[in-house]
A = this chain, B = another copy of it.
Amino acid sequence: MRRILVANRGEVALRIIRACRELSIETVAIYSEADRTALHTTQADEAVCVGPAPAEQSYLHMQNILAAALICGADGVHPGYGFLSENALFAEMCAAHGLVFIGPSSQHLELLGDKARAKAVMEEAGVPVIPGSGVISSRTDLVETAAELGYPVLLKARSGGGGKGMRLAQDRTELLRVFDTARAEARASFQDDAVYLEKCLLGARHIEVQLLADNYGNVVHVGERECSLQHRYQKLLEECPAPQISAELRARLGAAALQGARAVNYRGAGTMEFLVDPAGNFYFVEMNPRLQVEHPVTELVYGVDLVKEQIRLAAGEPLRYSQAMLSPRGHAIECRINAEAVAPGSRPIPGVVEKLIVPGGPGVRWDSHIYQGYSVPPFYDALLGKLIAWGEDRQEALRCMERALQELVIEGVQTSLAFHRAVLRDERFRAGSYSTDFVRQWLAESEIVG
């Protein structure tokens, strides 16, 4: 590949530009009118304005993005995460115009985008899946299926992602109450109001396995990540490796992920998401056919550049790693610094970064598109940057992250820094055995909302 159009913005667009530069691949950035002075716009070799600020008219405007790719002579398109990254039609359009879509095929995106179908395929392949239903056809079906599964249950959108159209129900009354809202949200977000039910596992942990697969049948996993620290189904902190996991469970998770990837003939970089219950049973939830926000923790521990590998695989190169070559070293933690306090009812507030001091020194990595003087636009997601810390073991990584959080200064916009600092001091978090309930419980008990 010679020239890649980066169909995204923010830190992930920069991340892809960095990988391309290191591979001597030219980059074409796209930007909305709100991102004219954004770093991804200025750092790429070329930049094309593809529309006004709202994402539907710019970062989601397939025609303008493809026209920019063709006009600029790009031979590949990297969608990043979010936006068009899981859009099967976009992948197909890229292919139709002779552009390499850096991700799996549109068929994979279609299959894995239908969460219910993906589960069925995995179950058939022998991967344990989370108990749940097919698409709910009626209120009667809803109530009966929930009774069979047993409360609490999770209502989820078939085409969902990022927690949208997702609702927890403790009983029949609550379930009936949230049914319509969930469907409306799913329709608004994904143009598909089909929802299904899933058993809600109490005290479960969200653990995912990173995969890399080439076009020639070779698949490796690059360890697991702990992603249980979530607020409103949005991850706020991730770790690699998952703490408090036995070597035996780790091996079983890796094997199941490989099994699942092989079952669908997966290609490129992807992630198998599992829920792990307190007894050590695990269940497939979904497969993310793209780069994950939290990929840096894996990179630091395994010494692998996942974005460079993803591009190499998309270009048709064979995998450069065997499973035996991939061994973890130390521990890494990522904090997603958002332009938003973590508190009930909080919302991101746009503003200008009036002062920025970026942490440095050993073990610290900062993936971010902000700079002193940057104006945070109100149109996109609230991620300001990802602070990642590495240490020889979890204890050292925690200490490194604590001091990096202490060093990081962002003035002018509200941030999640106070939350992250407080969580890092929390004894239960430090013990490493927290589940997806952690933040909800913690917010209920805590006064820290800053």
Does A360 sit at the interface, judged by CB under 8 A? yes
| Interface pick from A13-21, A62-70, A437-445 | A13-21
Stretch at the interface among A28-36, A86-94, A177-185, A395-403: A395-403
Residues on the B chain within 8 Å of A330, using CB: 303
* CB < 8 Å neighbour of A362 from B299, B355, B373: B299
| Residue A165 lies at the interface, judged by CB distance under 8 Å to chain B | no
Expressed in whole angstroms, the Cα–Cα distance for A24 and B14 within the complex equals: 34
Q: Identify which of residues 359-417 in chain A touch chain B, using a CB-to-CB cut-off of 8 Å.
A: 360-368, 371-373, 392, 396, 399-400, 402-403, 406-407
- Bound-state CA distance A45–B111 (Å) is 55
Given contacts A22-B396, A22-B399, A400-B22, contact A360 B365 (CB under 8 A): yes
Contacts of A363 in B (CB 8 A): 305
Specify which chain B residues have a CB less than 8 angstroms from the CB of A303 in the assembled complex: 329-330, 392
Q: Which residue of B lies closest to A401 (CB)?
A: B22
Bound CA–CA A360/B40 (angstroms): 13
CB <8 Å contact, B400 and A362? no
A181 to chain B, nearest CB (A): 39
Asked whether A43 is an interface residue with its Cβ less than 8 Å from the other chain, the reply is: yes
**Shortest beta-carbon distance, A364 to chain B, in Å?**
7
**Chain A 177-210 interface 0/1 with B at a Cβ cutoff of 8 Å (1 = within):** 0000000000000000000000000000000000
Chain B residues with CB below 8 A from A406, complex form: 21
CB distance from A358 to the nearest CB of B (A): 5
**In this assembly, does A264 line the interface, its C-beta being within 8 Å of a C-beta of chain B?**
no
Contact partners of A371 in chain B: CB under 8 A: 356-357
Within 8 A of B (CB), among A281-337: 296, 299-300, 303-305, 307, 329-330
Partner of A360, one of B21, B366, B373, B396: B366
Q: How far is it, in angstroms, between the C-alpha of A24 and the C-alpha of B371 when the chains are bound?
A: 30
Contact A357 B39 (CB under 8 A): yes
Task: Determine the distance from Cα of A142 to Cα of B186 in the docked complex, in whole angstroms.
Answer: 87
Contact across chains for A362 and B18 when beta carbons are under 8 A apart: yes
Please indicate the chain B residues that have their CB under 8 angstroms from the CB of A296 in the complex. 362
Q: Give a binary string over A212-237; 1 marks a CB under 8 Å from any B CB, 0 the rest.
A: 00000000000000000000000000
Q: Find the B residue at minimum CB distance from A18.
A: B361
Give the complex CA separation of A184 and B396 in angstroms. Answer: 48
A367 engages B372 (CB within 8 Å)? no
- Once bound together, how far apart are the Cα atoms of A358 and B365, in whole Å? 11
Contact of A403 among B22, B356, B358, B396 (CB under 8 A): B22
Which residues of B sit under 8 angstroms from A24, Cβ to Cβ?
399
* Bound-complex Cα distance A307 to B357 (A): 22
Q: How far is the CB of A23 from chain B (nearest CB, A)?
A: 8
Chain B residues with CB under 8 A of A21:
399, 402-403, 406
Closest to A407 in B: B43
Question: Cα distance A14–B358 when bound, in Å?
Answer: 13
B357 and A403 contact, CB distance less than 8 A? no
Docked Cα-Cα span, A360 to B15, in Å, equals 9
Report A211 CB to chain B, min CB distance, Å.
19
Residue of B whose beta carbon sits closest to that of A307 = B362
Check B357 against A14 for contact (C-beta < 8 Å).
no
Residues of B within 8 A of A307 (CB): 362
* List of B residues within 8 angstroms of A365 by Cβ: 360-362, 364-365
> Nearest-CB distance from A397 to chain B (Å)?
10
A-B contacts, 24 of them at CB < 8 A, read A15-B361, A18-B361, A18-B403, A21-B403, A22-B399, A22-B403, A23-B399, A43-B407, A296-B362, A299-B362, A304-B392, A305-B392, A329-B329, A355-B372, A355-B373, A356-B371, A357-B371, A358-B358, A358-B360, A360-B365, A360-B367, A361-B365, A365-B365, A372-B373
Give residues in A with beta carbon < 8 Å to B.
14-15, 18, 21-24, 39, 43, 296, 299-300, 303-305, 307, 329-330, 355-358, 360-368, 371-373, 392, 396, 399-400, 402-403, 406-407
- Known contacts A303-B330, A360-B367; 10 additional CB pairs below 8 A are A18-B361, A22-B403, A24-B399, A39-B357, A43-B407, A299-B362, A305-B392, A329-B329, A357-B371, A360-B368
